[in-house]
């Protein structure tokens, strides 16, 4: 084996290498900032966020002045809410909601109610049962479930919208107006909230929603 002996490194060489490492670090940091400058805040690397701060960033974008960014924030919030209890729970939720859309009440009831009981503090599981009750025209029960969602997530625009629709069918125009306005406060760029609020304010009893 060949032994290689290195000469001692001088103080100034150490300084030179330290400066070189510093410059490289600064350039890397600048590149990193440029790379993420145009990305929406919640898409930054996981180590930038606590979970609550990440959700708050989505809400700020949702309520901001940029309608395109707000649309992306709304999609990100749904994605976040659906995924809060892991992949297996999300798959169950999606199965239950697919059954709701198909009008298969038996499967929807079995999957969604079981999921809600298993995760009583998961807003999206409760919201899924609220949707089921609404489709079954059990509006009082659906409204009560929407309120439960809002206790957990006061800015859940889907629950505010659901509460407004339930109130419409119950003839509670004051509640419908209030819920619509809350939905618009959280999601001001959503045209559907404005449409429903306009119709509610006209007090059309036969509102088709």
Q: Counting Cβ atoms within 10 Å, is residue 19 exposed (0-12), middle (13-18) or buried (19+)? A: exposed
To the nearest 10°, report the CA torsion of 181, 187, 191, 193. Answer: -30
**How far is Cα 42 from Cα 50, in angstroms, rounded to an integer?**
10
What percent of the chain clears pLDDT 90, i.e. is strictly above it?
A: 68
pLDDT the model gives residue 209: 47
The model's pLDDT over 25-60, given as tens digits with 9 standing for 90+, comes to 655 554 544 444 445 555 655 444 566 688 898 999
pTM for this model (two decimals): 0.76
Q: What is the pLDDT of residues 163-207, one digit of tens each?
A: 999 999 999 999 999 999 999 999 999 999 999 999 898 876 554
Count of CB atoms within 10 A of residue 38's CB?
6
């Amino acid at each position: 084996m060949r032994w290689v002996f290195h000469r001692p490194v001088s103080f100034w060489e150490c300084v030179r290498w330290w400066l070189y490492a510093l410059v490289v670090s600064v350039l890397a940091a600048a590149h990193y900032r440029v790379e993420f400058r145009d990305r929406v805040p919640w898409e930054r690397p996981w180590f930038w966020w606590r979970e609550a701060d990440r959700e708050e960033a989505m809400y700020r974008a949702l309520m901001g002045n940029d309608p395109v960014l707000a649309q992306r924030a709304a999609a990100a919030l749904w994605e976040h809410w659906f995924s809060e209890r892991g992949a297996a729970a999300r798959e169950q939720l999606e199965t239950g909601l697919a059954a709701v859309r198909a009008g298969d009440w038996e499967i929807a009831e079995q999957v969604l109610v079981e999921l809600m009981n298993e995760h009583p503090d998961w807003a999206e599981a409760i919201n899924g049962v609220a949707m089921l009750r609404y489709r079954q025209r059990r509006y009082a029960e659906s409204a009560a479930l929407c309120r439960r969602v809002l206790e957990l997530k006061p800015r859940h625009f889907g629950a505010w919208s659901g509460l407004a629709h339930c109130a419409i069918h119950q003839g509670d125009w004051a509640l419908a107006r209030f819920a619509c306005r809350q939905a618009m406060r959280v999601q001001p760029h959503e045209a559907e909230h404005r449409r429903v609020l306009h119709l509610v304010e006209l007090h059309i009893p036969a509102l088709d929603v």
